[in-house]
Amino acid sequence: MKPVDIKSLINYVSLKILGGSDYLLDALEEYLVNGEGPAIVAHKYNISKHQLRGYAQRIIEKSGSEIRAKKIIPILKQMAVDVKPIVVRDENGVYTCTLCNTVVAKEDSEEHVRKYHKDMLTLAITNMSEKLDEIRAKKEKPVIFTSAS
Ligand SMILES: [Zn+2]
């Protein structure tokens, strides 16, 4: 079985959250872990079913399997508690970068973060990695994040 690509998961989640998709893990938990219908979850977070399935697919690929993804999502949520978006959406659906006060297109928000706020992205990734170390240290036996076999 494919190993868990934890680095890639952390990168993906960090960038999504910073770019304003901070609902990502909640939506995935409801859809993948709790088994809610995609239409209900997509509507709740104001995204399309297609987007929701796309997010799920990415997380499953990086986790190695759907079963693993279901276990990892709650852990990712714990890891991401301190990561806050820097691009935010207002009630009119306009995305603004709170660091440089620039209006960005929704589809460009992640690219904006990567291009202009790489230090913030690095910080978020470091923060998530440290949280993972804490979580690992608390557990007696690491179950899913063992190295590739
Ligand atoms: Zn900015």
Q: What is the pLDDT of residues 13-38, one digit of tens each?
A: 999 999 999 999 999 999 999 999 99
Other Cβ atoms closer than 10 A to 96: 17
Q: How far apart are the CA of 99 and the centre of ligand 1, in A?
A: 5
Distance CA 98, CA 89 (A): 10
Residue 11 CA, ligand 1 centroid: distance in Å: 18
In terms of pLDDT, which residue wins out, 55 or 141?
55
Domain map (residue ranges) of the chain: 6-129
Q: Has this prediction a pTM greater than 0.85?
A: yes
- Residue 98: per-residue pLDDT: 97
pLDDT for position 3: 86
Structure tokens at 45: 């977070």
Are 84 and 60 a contacting pair, CB within 8 Å?
no
Considering only CA atoms, which of 83, 89, 79, 126 is closest in space to residue 109?
89
Q: How far is the CA of 69 from the centre of ligand 1 (A)?
A: 31
